[in-house]
Amino acid sequence: MFFPGWFSVGEVTFPERKQGGAPGSRAEGGPVGLPEAPALSDSRGARLTGFATDGSIARPCVLGTKAGEVPRRFVLKALTIFSGNANRELAQSICRYVDTPLGDAEVTRFADGEIYVEIKENVRGVNCFVVQPTCSPVNDNLMELLVMIDALKRASAGTIVAVIPYFGYARQDRKSKPRTPISARLVADLLTAAGVDRVLAIDLHAGQIQGFFSIPVDHLYGMPVLMEYMRSRFTSDAVIVSPDAGGVERARAYSKRLGASLAIIDKRRPAPNVSEVVNIIGDVRGRDAIIVDDMVDTAGTLCAAAQAVMDQGARAVFACASHGVLSNPALDRIMASPLKELIITDTVTPRVAVKECPKIRILSVARLLGEAVKRIHHGDSISSLFI
């Protein structure tokens, strides 16, 4: 924790960190926000110089002590990133970007299936980030996240930020029929009751889910990651296709940044996970069509849209989505469809079959999330990451 003016760790007094400089630079105070100190002394006259850091830990190093005294080392921990079992690979990639080791936490299960969590390092006063998408198995991963948050709260963590790249239950954001739940609100209440201080998510299925929380929610988009690849792959001659009316705003944002035109598919959904294409609004003939969506689950909507676009005379059809859920039989449908390539991110842990699918390209959001983690930790603005 940083306080105005001077503050102490043990018997050593440190000045407030300097302002200015790039995040993580010496001018700003290093990756944990500590000052650059040429020489300091503790209450006994021991000489200190600078700080040796390894990302999450800053160590003032004792150069010398009074005669007959043993040198001491004072440790101030400021940032730790933990991970559940949902997407440990992504968490490790985020840690590499932030330049800090992954937090030491044991997340296991008892013989009857109950989840057991043990935080195996001191987190008192530490800014803790828990990386855990609530993807399949949704209930297990959600419960892991809740138990980890509770464990950190009871260990006196300074702040707890839930990093949820994929927010499960997001599609149940309203009452679509009588006597049905609003499960997204229930999940928000569970996270808040568990003790989380902030939520960091990517491409919520509905933006109004942010309003379900009574705590700050940083809602990032996968667009910067996907657009970086799309700009190198497509020209302004391509056409961006929205698979339904609800995705028009997202498709318009992609078309604006790529300088491409826009088309909309009018579809009907007679049953859950079942869709039927009725009409296509816009010209796709003789052009590369790119279908954009927030997620691909069973790929029924996507493959039906791809076939409809090809029937209208498109030269080739591609697709991109932030969340590659890809529940069965998604891969079989994608391989049998006219889709030339599906571009997804690693917000959901890709299965081996997904990684080996020749039609699927996986991009990483580790840099995007890592930069957000650094800025939240330092108290800097992350608004530039929203676009």
What is the Cα–Cα distance from 3 to 346, expressed in whole angstroms? 37
Q: Which neighbouring-strand residues pair with 318? A: 290, 341
Residues 6+ apart with CB under 8 A from 191: 145, 146, 149, 162, 199, 213
- Catalytic residue (one of 153, 256, 267, 355): 267
Q: What's the token pair of residue 21?
A: 């400089």
User: How would you classify residue 301: left for phi > 0, otherwise alpha for psi between -120 and 50, otherwise beta?
Assistant: alpha
Structure tokens, 168: 């499960």
Q: How far apart are the C-alpha atoms of 266 and 244, rounded to whole Å?
A: 6
CA 191 – CA 83 distance, rounded (Å): 16
Paired tokens of 9? 């760790």
Write out the H or E segment, with its range, that includes residue 320: strand 316-324
Residues 31, 53 contacting (CB under 8 angstroms): yes
* 52: helix, strand or coil: strand
**Catalytic annotation on 340?**
no
Q: If DSSP codes are grouped into helix, strand and coil, which group holds residue 387? A: coil
What whole-number distance in Å separates Cα of residue 241 and Cα of residue 232?
19
Name, in order, each residue with C-beta under 8 angstroms of 216's C-beta and a sequence gap of 6 or more: 197, 198, 199
Query: Token digits for 103?
Result: 């937090």
Q: How far apart are CA 188 and CA 134, in angstroms?
A: 12
Strand pairing class (57-64; 47-53): antiparallel
Which residues are the active-site residues? 267
